[in-house]
């Protein structure tokens, strides 16, 4: 495995911790900064909204610049955001720190995925993206328990100091281990990857790009909509205690790690087939989860497979959207934004279902329906691509991404 991929995974791990760790610290942070639960919740939702907007804005602002220095600068921004959070004297500064840290999130994974692809042979592109995202999925497993453990022993500020330290290590690792040539923009003067924001936007006019982004939003959004209310499902339907929820989420996170790696490997062999199979399996898993949620054993098994099939499409979706956009960074970052838009949609619809009195299994069925719509979108997208250009698979193996 190229050392540069390890450096990118370390950066992804730190950014993932920043996103997930706050969930286990909200009560401490709220009491310390004297704010309500609703205000404390904005430390999560504000981060997510900033990721959705910042992914596009930061990528556009750095269009045409060499990618390695941009990646390094993004992680420096991440360090500054977490440093603000660690030092925050009040809620306003804490929220600002979360926003600053979130600005780098989408662009790091978008631009980093293009750099990761250049570190390996074209036929291993999706696996390279999966390795980079492994840091994010591992952070999902460790984030909440890590934050709770460190916060309980040394206070919530110590958690953000630890993440700041991880960020400093990531900056050094990317600067030293990512080769300069991997972070340069392709020299081909005809490549849209070199172009201005306007040129990159033109490259995204492809119907395939927008259909893939829609499938990403629906597939990931359906999974996240179900995930958002899993704690209620486990405690109110299955009968687990609140203490059990932590290890059940670790089971889910372990599924994310495995799904990410399997999805990257499968996408390198047959990308569209892997995406269709993953979305179909996720639809069935969520529906079965809703039916069998009252059973503890079934719930543990199904939450694991929710993680596996929920993250398996991610590497393939990213390589697909960037291939059809001719390798422009804006497309990769737009994919991250689409995921976050889907997250917000899924969580909102799941909450509406509970509010309508449909019970705590309702988000699972809502998630299955959203993912099913993503599956139909992906099926149409794959068919449209094959009808327009049966030889597209050759074009997708680009080396200038």
Q: Residue 398 pLDDT more than 50?
A: no
Q: Which residue segment(s) compose the domain that 53 sits in?
A: 1-185
Q: Mean per-residue pLDDT for 342-359?
A: 85
Residue where a domain terminates, one of 159, 185, 211: 185
Question: Are both 26 and 110 inside the same structural domain?
Answer: yes
pLDDT score recorded for residue 64: 73
Question: Are both 331 and 396 inside the same structural domain?
Answer: yes
pLDDT score recorded for residue 400: 40
Residue where a domain terminates, one of 129, 159, 185: 185
Question: Are both 202 and 340 inside the same structural domain?
Answer: yes
Residue where a domain terminates, one of 185, 216, 249: 185
pTM: 0.77
Question: Are both 25 and 57 inside the same structural domain?
Answer: yes
Question: Are both 173 and 265 inside the same structural domain?
Answer: no
- Where helices occur in 204-243 by DSSP H, the ranges are 207-227, 230-232
CATH number of the domain enclosing 13: 1.20.1250.20
pLDDT digits (tens, 9 = 90+) for 161-188: 999 999 999 999 998 888 877 656 554 4
Is residue 313 a contact partner of residue 214, using CB atoms and an 8 Å limit? no
Q: Residue 190 pLDDT more than 50?
A: no
Residue 227, token pair as written in the block: 């995930």
The share of the chain scoring above pLDDT 70, in percent, equals 89
Question: Are both 123 and 205 inside the same structural domain?
Answer: no
Question: Are both 238 and 375 inside the same structural domain?
Answer: yes
Question: Are both 264 and 329 inside the same structural domain?
Answer: yes
Which range is least confidently modeled, 20-34, 220-234, 277-291?
Answer: 20-34
The pLDDT confidence band at residue 79, using thresholds 50, 70 and 90, is very high
Question: Are both 170 and 198 inside the same structural domain?
Answer: no
The set of residues, in sequence order, having a beta carbon less than 8 Å from that of 172 and lying 6+ positions away, is none
Tell which phi-psi region holds residue 240, choosing left (phi > 0), alpha (psi between -120 and 50) or beta. beta
Q: Residue 228 pLDDT more than 80?
A: no
* Max avg pLDDT among 102-111, 169-178, 350-359: 169-178
Average pLDDT in the chain: 83
Domains held by the chain: number: 2
Q: Mean per-residue pLDDT for 279-297?
A: 96
Is residue 140 a contact partner of residue 253, using CB atoms and an 8 Å limit? yes
Which range is least confidently modeled, 66-75, 78-87, 157-166?
Answer: 66-75
Q: Mean per-residue pLDDT for 368-387?
A: 92
Q: Residue 343 pLDDT more than 60?
A: yes
């Amino acid at each position: 495995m190229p050392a540069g991929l390890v450096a990118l995974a370390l950066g992804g791990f730190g950014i993932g911790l920043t996103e997930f760790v706050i969930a286990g610290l909200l009560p401490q942070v709220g009491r310390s900064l004297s704010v309500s639960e609703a205000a404390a919740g904005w430390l999560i939702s504000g981060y997510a909204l900033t990721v959705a907007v910042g992914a596009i804005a930061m990528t556009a602002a750095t269009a045409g610049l060499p990618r390695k220095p941009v990646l390094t600068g993004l992680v420096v921004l991440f360090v500054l955001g977490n440093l603000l959070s660690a030092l925050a004297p009040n809620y306003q500064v804490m929220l600002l720190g979360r926003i600053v840290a979130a600005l780098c999130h989408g662009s790091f994974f978008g631009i980093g995925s293009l750099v990761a692809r250049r570190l390996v042979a074209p036929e291993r592109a999706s696996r390279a993206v999966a390795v980079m995202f492994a840091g994010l999925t591992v952070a999902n497993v460790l984030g909440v328990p890590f934050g709770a453990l460190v916060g309980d022993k040394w206070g919530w500020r110590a958690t953000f100091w630890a993440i700041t330290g991880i960020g400093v290590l990531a900056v050094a690792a990317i600067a030293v281990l990512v080769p300069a040539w991997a972070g340069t923009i392709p020299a081909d003067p005809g490549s849209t990857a070199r172009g201005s924001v306007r040129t990159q936007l033109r490259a995204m006019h492809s119907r395939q790009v927008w259909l893939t982004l829609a499938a990403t939003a629906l597939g990931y959004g359906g999974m996240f909509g179900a995930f958002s209310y899993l704690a209620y499902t486990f405690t109110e339907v299955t009968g687990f205690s609140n203490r059990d929820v932590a290890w059940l989420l670790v089971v889910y996170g372990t599924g994310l790690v495995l799904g990410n790696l399997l999805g990257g490997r499968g996408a390198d062999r047959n990308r569209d087939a892997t995406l269709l199979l993953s979305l179909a399996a996720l639809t069935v898993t969520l529906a079965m989860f809703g039916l069998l949620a009252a059973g503890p054993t079934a719930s543990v098994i199904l939450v694991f497979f929710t993680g596996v099939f929920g993250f398996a499409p991610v590497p393939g979706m990213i390589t697909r959207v960037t291939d059809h956009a001719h390798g422009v960074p804006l497309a990769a970052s737009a994919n991250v934004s689409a995921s976050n838009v889907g997250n917000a949609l899924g969580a909102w619809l799941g909450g509406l279902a509970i509010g309508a009195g449909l019970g705590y299994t309702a988000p699972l069925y809502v998630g299955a329906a959203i993912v099913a719509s993503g599956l139909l979108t992906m099926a149409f997208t794959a068919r449209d691509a094959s009808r327009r250009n049966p030889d597209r698979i050759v074009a997708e193996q680009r080396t200038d991404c």
